[in-house]
Amino acid sequence: MRLVVVGNGMAGSRLVGEVRARDPHLSVTVFGAETWQPYNRVLLSNVLAGSSGPDQVRLLDPSWYATHDVEAVFGSEVVRVDRSAQTVITADGRSTPYDMLVLATGSQAVVPPVPGAELAIPFRTLDDCHRILEAAERAERAVVVGGGLLGIEAARGLAGRGLPVTLLHLADHLMERQLDAEAGLVLGETLTGLGVDIRTGVSAEAILEEGVRLADGELVEGDLVVLACGVRPVTGLAKDSGLSVRRGIVVDDEMRTEDPAVFAIGECAEHDGTVYGLVAPAWEQASVAAEVITGGKALYRGSRLVTRLKAKSVELAAMGETQLTEEHAEVVRFSHRARGTYRKLVIRDGRLVGAILLGDTDAVGTLTQLFDRGGPLPGDRAGLLFPGLATVTVADSPVLMPDAAKVCQCNNVTKGQIRACWEAGARDVAAVASATRATTGCGTCRDAVEGIVGWLCEQEGISA
């Protein structure tokens, strides 16, 4: 059987790896429109900030494909899917037949329809990153348009390089999809203290050589303009081939489209009315699709999202229904704006359905477990916000953490799995990452993994 994968980003490359782990003989061809080896898009903000180089965000070693008998075609965009002939056609005329096809085409940056938009640089790909860094070397001031996750990470990264940065955002507070108004305010004050000038409730009317003109006529000066205005699923191939497309390519619980030979996963896929824009759901979907493609049984039932901001000196985690008020749920909150700290729990029917942790996030391990499992909460609500006062198990302590505790949300890796691979000989973080993929997603679990490995080594009296 011949498997063709269109898209070699975080979803497509994971799918290929998952398939090959299950079936060493299946014929696999993967097409990537970018010339780069697959890389971790989540960590591009680290490249922008200078804390990681391009090689450090690579997902697979270049030799992996040959070693695992996978045909990888880079820099070759698939422009048509002929479902009747079960063939994909590339821009250079190559025709490749398939028995099973996976669309992992991801998303593309939204470019607002304003005059001069071509003067700005979107922040989406590794090529975009290089363009921004090249422009930043000769720029005197930067403007970032968009105050969501990517915009904040871009602004913080550029400010960390010593470039004055103004962040423009249309909504009244930052990250309005994940945060309530007070959390957005505290986050804005934190970023201001790190050198980012925050302007919310403003609309860009035009992009000029000298900056961004707002709807009220004001000019926000900047000779580098970065766009982080969101993304939209890339669905053209599916739509042109007659597949059902709403916001994304419509799939069932097996990640199949209405054509049983065609699957879709990642940011281009719409499951049960939802298009997920984070890495963990994409990798969960890849695992399900790989199992089905190789003859197994698996169902995708949706994902519980935990958003982590990856910006130096800014700790933020948000999960679930953060916008609910006291009218619809039990809400427990603590705010200390002078320290940039905001914590909020949203509880319904005795279970955690949402949380925001900004600033010191020592409670994030415990709360993520409670949110992910959906189990009943202890009566000590304040103890959940401040683990040092709590009688519940704290996830940050390797000694007390149960083996079932999930350490790496992106890859669903538990403490027990880390312990098992350590006992099998993986005695450092790199070896654990190779065996379990922990730390290879958003990277925020690295400290926890290091702590567990260090603790295990300490118990046996060996050096980590």
Query: What pLDDT, on the 0 to 100 scale, is given for residue 71?
Result: 97
Number of neighbours of residue 233 by Cβ within 10 angstroms: 23
Sequence-distant (≥ 6) Cβ neighbours of residue 450 within 8 angstroms = 429, 464
Name which of 447, 449, 306, 275 is nearest 372 in CA terms: 306
Query: Does one domain contain both 244 and 220?
Result: no
How far lies 346's CA from each of 185, 312, 332, 358, in Å?
19, 27, 7, 15
**Blockwise average pLDDT, block size 10, the chain, 464 residues:** 96 96 97 91 86 83 92 95 98 96 96 96 94 95 96 94 96 96 96 96 96 97 96 97 98 98 98 93 97 98 88 89 92 92 94 92 81 84 72 49 76 84 83 84 77 80 63
Reduced DSSP (H G I as helix, E B as strand, rest coil) percent helix, strand, coil of the chain, to 5 = 30, 25, 40
Query: What pLDDT, on the 0 to 100 scale, is given for residue 357?
Result: 94
Domain boundary at 339, 359, 391, which? 391
Query: Does one domain contain both 64 and 153?
Result: no
How far lies 37's CA from each of 8, 52, 164, 177, 387, in Å?
8, 16, 33, 32, 42
- Structural domain including 253 reads 2-107+232-293
Number of structural domains, the chain?
Answer: 4
Query: Does one domain contain both 162 and 185?
Result: yes
Q: Give the SS3 label for residue 290.
A: helix
Query: What pLDDT, on the 0 to 100 scale, is given for residue 397?
Result: 57
Residue 307 is which amino acid?
A: T
Query: What pLDDT, on the 0 to 100 scale, is given for residue 393?
Result: 41
Phi and psi for 172 in degrees, rounded to 5?
-75, -15
- pTM (whole model) above 0.75: yes
Give the single-character DSSP code of 327: T
Q: What is the CATH number of the domain that holds 365?
A: 3.30.390.30
Domain boundary at 205, 229, 253, which? 229
Q: What is the CATH number of the domain that holds 425?
A: 1.10.10.1100
Residue 306 lies in a domain: no
Q: Give the SS3 label for residue 343.
A: strand
Query: Does one domain contain both 166 and 30?
Result: no
Query: Does one domain contain both 236 and 100?
Result: yes
Chain length of the chain: 464
Q: For residues 270 and 250, is the Cβ–Cβ distance under 8 A?
A: yes
